[in-house]
Structure 1
């Protein structure tokens, strides 16, 4: 089945290039052939895992001896079609580079892994200039930069039930991370809120509104830290992580000094999984977590009140925190994939629902929810394509709202009172080859920036990803 599916993927790519029909090579009779015909050299090119191939076996040989690497290029053209700040199209791209050294395969010691990754970000800003949304519409919408992303050592202990990581890390690579519907290597949604919930950004500074003095420890901005993972079984886990409270945004990510007076950021997460691989039942999981920052954070009501002389704007709170829950459940499994049920990438329909919450007195937003559906292999002969439908809602802080209303009573029109921001995304990712995808995404941003000041926006994004 896998070979036939890959041949159909290759055939589709060739058809789009005008070289042969999509269903060329598909048997006309339902009777099984004695053996699958060998693919042509062009079909083999589209079926291989990497655009540049295996280098005559060198790549596989290196991996067998412990050294593996990945190279992705993401090219994206987001367009604001209507509403927002202004209409227009920009180009944004990212080259992702990752290398791993496995000490077990290298014949050194068991359970060790050294990981290094870097990213080259380029292009013009989109959300800030065109939409104005907190939930950034495009996954690679970052300031242009070439930077070190992560550099850490990982060691597995106690029969691989305990994992310890030390080094430069991004928190979103270990926490609030879906098992099934979305990952860095299997991008389903392009809106950033589906990758790492926007509410967690509450810990950090929003330009022009000093709710904090911190940058966000999430991809592609890592900070020094340590993570401990305990996986006593396939059905239960507990993770804990502590990071420097202020990732270094300059120096290309190569400044390894601790921020000192910026505190520390901690994550805790525990989860359960049911119907794991081999059960023959539809799998799912529930993740519960919390985060805490030890630094001081401004009182948002006090800050806003200072604009009208109602307060000093200097009141602070010790620490900041939040909670989250993520539920995933597979709803339907394709017949030909039932033997692999429970594995990542199994064909069928998945659902997800995620909640986040944080105190209103020191954060820009206080509640967030996102959820949706992902179907892999919806159409016959398109086993590796994915359809994604998702929505998110972000509720602004009640303390901010009440403070803005108080200021407006003294100075009418000073603020457009904050309320919420929401987004809807529908996308379809086409697997043209094992190493090439094209993904159109339609999005509707409601109340960009968390109020009615900016018009709702219609966004279209066309993204292509190459795996070298």
Structure 2
């Protein structure tokens, strides 16, 4: 209860009059006016900075930030029944080099502050199905870093060259702008994202890429990544080869409603521990040395389809999302993973800025990975579901109620029932 009290004390303080998490540099900032700049109706808590926010956008610079607070706990089952309070402070800076008066065709995207503080219940609930996607970054513990710094340059014909530091949570927003990064939509990482990308695709790393975009976003990409995880450090030494990522997307318009089909594949060239114990070397007395395998791969199919859309408001729609993937059984803990979900964005006429969703995921563990724990702590496949409702309290403050039921993996643990409250304030 002390943590819950802290949540509302912090919220009350931030609601006092004071002078915002960005996706793309878009025209809405250039059209911002002060016609509704009272505290309860402005889009950002800090308003338009007496016109300076619009002025910066006209010069090619967007600065936005958000504080997201989580009060989440395991009500029953899992490894430990405990409620914990945690925070994430994000600061994004977007720059258009043309508008900045430098050169045309360049964009800079920076996740300048990725600061996690407080606690989370990922380990208490289900470590193989993180119940709080946003609090795994930069690390699943209190941590601070600049996790995303990309420069994009238009090459013509829809092609773009990209180089820099990449955060997968932010990259996924390029594919699915409405997925929510764990601060707006689903909180469990296993529903929107391919868990079987481990270990072939590092979560935060350096990349170089060629991407092809159309009117409806990314269509194809080829990415070379440094396969080493570097969430809080900066370097470029390729200690374990590279990861090659290929992506192809086909946008559809079935029944006049938007959809897409995406194939995503990875191949890592480095050395990884093999879970096939038949090749492990026995070291007397009673020890073993795991063998290493060259290369690891993952393949994923993802599809989304709107099943309803408001013809007068493109921000109001209901969509289905599903994915299924396989990975290298010798190096990845996961074999077959899948999820299916439905989300409604502004589905109610009187609540046009609310969103809600429910989803189910399945993460099948590879048999060789399970065999490592058969005597100490036997494992079974991980699966579960989530339901959430994200309510707009004010345009700059959203409050989400979240319920997850997850089979955590270890057979000794009961099904985890996880209850969460999430408050997001856009500055």
Question: Fold match, TM over 0.5?
Answer: yes
User: Do the aligned residues in 1 keep the contact of 2:280 with 2:291 (CA within 8 Å)?
Assistant: no
Structure with the higher strand share, 1 or 2:
2
Matched, 1:238 2:220: yes
Q: Deviations over 1:93-139 (max 9, x none)?
A: 010001112112123322111222221110124221x2143111113
User: Do the aligned residues in 2 keep the contact of 1:133 with 1:445 (CA within 8 Å)?
Assistant: no
Residue of structure 2 aligned with 1:162, choices 159, 168, 189 = 159
CA distance in 1, matches of 2:283, 2:361: 33
Question: After TM superposition, what 4+ stretches of structure 1 lie above 6 angstroms from structure 2?
Answer: 39-42, 303-311
Number of residues of Structure 1 aligned to a counterpart in Structure 2: 389
Matched, 1:227 2:185: no
Q: Deviations over 1:312-361 (max 9, x none)?
A: 5432211100100110000112xxx31455xxxx2121101011210212
Q: TM-score, normalised by structure 1?
A: 0.77
Matched, 1:79 2:73: yes
Please state whether the residue corresponding to 2:127 is helix, strand or coil: coil
Counterpart for residue 438 of structure 1: 399
Residue of structure 2 aligned with 1:183, choices 174, 180, 184 = 180
Q: CA deviation at 1:275?
A: 2.0
Q: CA deviation at 1:258?
A: 1.8
Spell out the pairing of 1:195-344 with structure 2 (5 A cutoff). 195-203=192-200, 217-218=202-203, 222-231=204-213, 234=216, 237-249=219-231, 252-253=232-233, 255=234, 257-275=235-253, 281-302=256-277, 312-333=288-309, 337-341=310-314
Matched, 1:359 2:353: no
User: Do the aligned residues in 2 keep the contact of 1:50 with 1:435 (CA within 8 Å)?
Assistant: yes
C-alpha spacing 1:465/1:77, structure 2 compared with 1 (3 Å): same
CA distance in 2, matches of 1:186, 1:388: 13
Counterpart for residue 10 of structure 2: none
Worse-superposed segment, 165-174 or 78-87: 165-174
Spell out the pairing of 1:125-164 with structure 2 (5 A cutoff). 125-128=120-123, 130-141=124-135, 142-159=140-157, 161-164=158-161
Q: CA deviation at 1:228?
A: 1.2
CA distance in 2, matches of 1:459, 1:109: 50
Q: TM-score, normalised by structure 2?
A: 0.84
Q: Which runs of 5+ in 1 are unaligned?
A: 1-16, 18-38, 204-215, 406-413
CA distance in 1, matches of 2:133, 2:217: 31
Counterpart for residue 193 of structure 1: 190
Please state whether the residue corresponding to 1:347 is helix, strand or coil: strand
User: Do the aligned residues in 2 keep the contact of 1:183 with 1:195 (CA within 8 Å)?
Assistant: no
Counterpart for residue 458 of structure 1: 417
Counterpart for residue 87 of structure 2: 93
CA distance in 1, matches of 2:219, 2:347: 32
Please state whether the residue corresponding to 1:455 is helix, strand or coil: coil
Q: Which runs of 5+ in 2 are unaligned?
A: 1-14, 16-33
CA distance in 1, matches of 2:283, 2:415: 29
CA distance in 2, matches of 1:317, 1:176: 32
User: Do the aligned residues in 2 keep the contact of 1:167 with 1:226 (CA within 8 Å)?
Assistant: yes
User: Do the aligned residues in 2 keep the contact of 1:236 with 1:272 (CA within 8 Å)?
Assistant: no
Residue of structure 1 aligned with 2:382, choices 401, 418, 421 = 421
Q: CA deviation at 1:369?
A: 0.4
Structure with the higher helix share, 1 or 2:
1
CA distance in 2, matches of 1:442, 1:281: 33
Q: CA deviation at 1:466?
A: 0.6
Larger Rg, first or second structure (1 or 2) = 1
C-alpha spacing 1:81/1:384, structure 2 compared with 1 (3 Å): same
C-alpha spacing 1:351/1:360, structure 2 compared with 1 (3 Å): same
User: Do the aligned residues in 1 keep the contact of 2:379 with 2:410 (CA within 8 Å)?
Assistant: yes
Worse-superposed segment, 353-362 or 226-235: 226-235
